[in-house]
Amino acid sequence: ELKVEQNPLFLSMQEGKNYTIYCNYSTTSDRLYWYRQDPGKSLESLFVLLSNGAVKQEGRLMASLDTKARLSTLHITAAVHDLSATYFCAVDIKNSWGKFQFGAGTQVVVTP
Amino acid sequence: NAGVTQTPKFQVLKTGQSMTLQCAQDMNHNSMYWYRQDPGMGLRLIYYSASEGTTDKGEVPNGYNVSRLNKREFSLRLESAAPSQTSVYFCASSTTVGQPQHFGDGTRLSIL
């Protein structure tokens, strides 16, 4: 059974500082996704990582994937208030017709 | 751009009542999914449909049934609602393996 662990589950950030969210998973997979969810809202796709060593960047967010370590990181550079949200990673379950296993989510609060 | 549309957005039921949650997508996606989201648990897959005419159980299928009515529509039915089914339900769709899932706005369901 594929397990996906995110840490930390809660992250209080100061504006202007850098932080990293980690996503570990338990079995082989080559595809990992990051989503953002604002309170009371739907999930928005941020990044799709499809191979070992993949790196994607959008604004202050950068995601990377190491399939050998079964680890993805979401790095936040110079945090700003607008980045306050819950971030989820999801791993594509191999040979499962596109089924995902989600992590529990990391709630991020950015304060001045 | 409608994307994935869920109805209703909110619903309150009494224990033992039945209801159907509706989901429709206009992106010509092959695969559709139903998740429930509970605090601290991420998203858990209830049922999915890899393609029109097929459905399969996910992680937490007990107490639910689904129908893939056509390529656009995928409904979730609670036959006899229980308080443990109080949750936020999300429908999602995707075009193929390796693509992100696109989510609807969710249905907030309370069972008293």
- CB within 8 Å: B44 and A102: yes
**Of B41, B58, B106, which is closest to A42 when you measure between CB atoms?**
B106
pLDDT of A96 over the 70 cut: yes
Count helices and strands (H / E) in chain B. Answer: 0, 11
Q: Give the residue, B19 or A53, on which the prediction is more confident.
A: B19
The predicted pLDDT at position B1 comes to 64
pLDDT of B31 over the 80 cut: yes
The predicted pLDDT at position B103 comes to 97
Contacts of B34 in chain A (CB under 8 A): none
**DSSP E strands: which ranges in chain A?**
4-7, 10-14, 19-25, 32-37, 43-49, 55-58, 61-66, 71-76, 85-92, 100-102, 106-111
pLDDT of A95 over the 80 cut: no
Average pLDDT for B59-66: 96
Q: Give the residue, B87 or B50, on which the prediction is more confident.
A: B87
pLDDT of B82 over the 80 cut: yes
pLDDT of B5 over the 80 cut: yes
Confidence of residue B45 (pLDDT cuts 50, 70, 90): very high
What distance in Å separates the CA atoms of residue A6 and residue A109, rounded to the nearest whole number? 16
Determine contact: B96 vs chain A, CB below 8 A. Answer: yes
